Amino acid sequence: MTDERGKLRSDCPVNFGLESFGDKWSLLIIRDMVFWGKKTYGEFLGSDEGIATNILAGRLASLEKEGIISKRPHPADRRKEIYSLTEKGLELIPLLVEIVAWSGKLVEWQSAAGTGTPEQIRQVKRFATTKNKGKIIQEIRDSVAAGSYFFAPR
């Protein structure tokens, strides 16, 4: 999966993207970094979807190999690594916004979305209805650069 460079199934740009991040977990890890400001292995493990430890380690390694994320040692705790998005990874933000917007338009999602905070639900609806996604994307980029949680009350 998300295999070694050099043996692509095809050179279609859609396929190229899917081979980079189109598995069950990669975009959820990126989501955690983008919207929740998560940065360490332990934080990723805590997500609602419950990723297994070996799968998480594998995905982090492959995202790093593809240049979507990078890691560096934690300055204060040498057991930890700090993962962050490269520019290539930050450029996936528009994609995440489109996925959120797509889901946000559907009644199927709306009826399942009981547990979000009001601010989260408000933002999802905003993503789904805005004319100008550029503004949203910039806000998210700023929030990531600040290392903070996107849904923080302003």
Partner DNA sequence: ACATATCACTTGTACATTGCAAGTAATCTT
Partner DNA sequence: AAGATTACTTGCAATGTACAAGTGATATGT
Beta strands in 26-154 (DSSP E): 69-73, 81-85
* 56: contact with a second copy by CB under 8 A: no
Q: How far apart are CA 145 and CA 154, in angstroms?
A: 16
Answer with the entry of DNA, a second copy, none that 3 interacts with (C-beta below 5 to 8 A by kind).
DNA
Answer with the entry of DNA, a second copy, none that 52 interacts with (C-beta below 5 to 8 A by kind).
DNA
For 77, phi then psi, to 5°, come to: -135, 105
* 60: contact with DNA by CB under 7 A: yes
Q: How far apart are CA 150 and CA 36, in angstroms?
A: 6
Please calculate the CA angle 48-52-58 and round it to the nearest 5 degrees.
Answer: 120
Q: Residue 2 is encoded by which pair of tokens?
A: 């998300």
Q: Considering only residues 106-145, where is the footprint of a second copy by CB under 8 A?
A: 106, 108-109, 112-116, 124
Answer with the entry of DNA, a second copy, none that 139 interacts with (C-beta below 5 to 8 A by kind).
none
Give the nearest distance from C-beta 117 to DNA in angstroms.
25
* Residue of 37, 70, 55 whose CA lies nearest to 152: 37
Q: How far apart are CA 134 and CA 94, in angstroms?
A: 8
Give the nearest distance from C-beta 137 to DNA in angstroms.
28
Applying CB under 8 A, which of residues 60, 85, 92, 144 lies at the interface with a second copy? 92
Residues in the site for a second copy, rule: CB under 8 A?
1, 5, 8-18, 20, 22-24, 27-28, 31, 47-50, 88, 91-92, 94-96, 98-106, 108-109, 112-116, 124
